[in-house]
Amino acid sequence: MNIKRLSLLFVIIFITTYLHANPILLGLRGGNDNSGITLQYYLDKENRVLEGIASLLFPGDNGIEFTGLYEYHFPFSDHEAFGWYIGWGVHLGFYDRPGNTDISLGPDGILGFQYTFENIPLNLSIDWHPGFDIISDYRSRFSNVGISARYVF
């Protein structure tokens, strides 16, 4: 085995060990403006979280949007299963409307509440996820509320 392959194997083992050491949550998000897949990765055991959302946009937009968020999660008092979070990020969307293909890009925010069950690997949350486009003629989304259910790995 040459040095390049050995180095690549070492990097893969290190990355998978590091990723597995922190919680990963994967699930579905349903919202009044978009619905899709949500993935949360805890950067540390404290409160910093990266969240990615891949949303199908409807009706009439025939598009997909990707959102990346950096969040801070906080427990309510001593009960760590129930908490709240706040964060910010960006979105990039691709839309196919009649006679027009559009790209959107803009900032996003998020504010939500979540509950993680202690006996089963399930996390439920409700959030407000406003955002607006700085590139596109699309629109602002200040009324975007969603509910998510995630499996905790």
Over residues 77-89, the pLDDT tens digits come to 777 899 999 999 9
* Tally of structural domains, the chain: 1
The verdict on residue 64 lying in a domain is: yes
What is residue 63's predicted lDDT score, i.e. its pLDDT? Answer: 85
Residues 44, 18: contact at Cβ < 8 Å?
no
First to last CA, the chain: 33
- For 125-153, what is each residue's pLDDT tens digit? 999 999 988 987 667 888 889 999 999 98
Residues 24, 44: contact at Cβ < 8 Å?
no
What is residue 13's predicted lDDT score, i.e. its pLDDT? Answer: 58
The verdict on residue 18 lying in a domain is: no
State the residue range of the domain holding 140. 23-152
The verdict on residue 60 lying in a domain is: yes
The verdict on residue 52 lying in a domain is: yes
CATH of residue 42: 2.40.160.20
The verdict on residue 16 lying in a domain is: no
The verdict on residue 135 lying in a domain is: yes
Residues 88, 69: contact at Cβ < 8 Å?
yes
pTM value surpassing 0.85: no
Bridge partners (DSSP) of residue 113 are 84, 126
The verdict on residue 17 lying in a domain is: no
The verdict on residue 88 lying in a domain is: yes
Cite the DSSP H helix spans in the chain: 3-21
